[in-house]
Chain A
Amino acid sequence: AQSVTQLGSHVSVSEGALVLLRCNYSSSVPPYLFWYVQYPNQGLQLLLKYTSAATLVKGINGFEAEFKKSETSFHLTKPSAHMSDAAEYFCAVSDINAGNNRKLIWGLGTSLAVNP
């Protein structure tokens, strides 16, 4: 079965510093991988996704992620953090449920704090 591990439940960076949020997955088939962001008291917003095209995926708000098959990783980065990036970030991998439908397997999330 697929699984997702997000290393670091809390990450704190200074404004303007590099953001690196780690995600490792296990999958028996070529995976679809996703990063979502959840701002306080809001639903989830898709940041970016990997679906077997280019390994470096660019998303919204200046975020990008690189799919590395050899490392089974899909880490999220942003060159320069902004105060508005403070949020909860979730990594997810696509799987198949009992009804033969796709579903998402979620990591536990990483809370990003940005310090002035």
Chain B
Amino acid sequence: SAVISQKPSRDICQRGTSLTIQCQVDSQVTMMFWYRQQPGQSLTLIATANQGSEATYESGFVIDKFPISRPNLTFSTLTVSNMSPEDSSIYLCSVDIQGGETQYFGPGTRLLVL
């Protein structure tokens, strides 16, 4: 497995602002994933981030709204841009350390947009 940390753990933001969420892993991983989990719902994949290449976004998610950085094999950031109350959610990062079989998750970032 892997130890994954996220910062911040929670935040309350004003609409129209942006928040950058950090994800740090204690080992080098090829693939990192960013998810959104809206209250009481399942996980929705936002994008897959491989080091050294552009993130691959899922349908319904765009880079202008959710820019992602992946500067090295242990770190990634997700920015939620121009936030609205509909962006209130838990944002989770996960990593794949076994060649595409298993994902391990960070503790999540709880975001409330007012």
Interface string of A93-116 (1 = CB under 8 A from B): 010011101111011110000000
B45, A43: Cβ atoms closer than 8 Å: no
Among A44, A51, A106, max chain B CB count under 10 A is at A44
- Contact B107 A103, beta carbon cutoff 8 Å: no
B96 touches A102 (CB 8 A): yes
Residues of B within 8 A of A36 (CB): 105
Q: Give B29-55 interface residues, CB cut-off 8 Å to A.
A: 31, 33, 41-45, 48, 50
Q: Are A101 and B105 in contact (CB under 8 A)?
A: no
Contacts of B58 in A (CB 8 A): 97
Contact A101 B92 (CB under 8 A): no
Complex CA–CA separation, A42 to B110 (angstroms): 10
* Interface SS majority for chain B: strand
Q: Which of B42, B56, B96, B110 contacts A99 (CB 8 A)?
A: B56
Contact status B42-A108, CB under 8 Å: yes
Cβ B100 vs Cβ A102 within 8 A: yes
Within the complex, which residue of A43, A106, A109 is in contact with B106, where a contact is CB–CB below 8 Å?
A43
Closest chain A residue to B58 by CB distance? A97
Interface string of B1-20 (1 = CB under 8 A from A): 10010000000000000000
Asked whether B22 is an interface residue with its Cβ less than 8 Å from the other chain, the reply is no
B102 touches which of A49, A106, A108 (Cβ 8 Å): A49
B: contact size bracket? 20 to 34
Interface residues on A, range: 20 to 34
A45 in the interface (beta carbon within 8 A):
yes
In the complex, the answer to whether B92 meets A43 with C-beta atoms within 8 Å is yes
CB distance from B5 to the nearest CB of A (A): 10
What 0/1 pattern do residues 15 to 41 of A give for CB contact below 8 A with B? Answer: 000000000000000001010100001
B interface residues with partner A (beta carbon < 8 Å): 1, 4, 31, 33, 41-45, 48, 50, 56, 58, 92, 94, 96, 100-108, 110
What are 15 of the A-B contact pairs (CB < 8 Å)? Answer: A41-B110, A43-B108, A90-B42, A90-B43, A97-B58, A99-B48, A99-B50, A101-B48, A101-B56, A102-B31, A102-B101, A103-B45, A104-B43, A104-B45, A108-B42
- Additional A-B contacts beyond A46-B103, A101-B31 (5; CB < 8 A): A41-B110, A46-B104, A97-B45, A106-B43, A108-B42
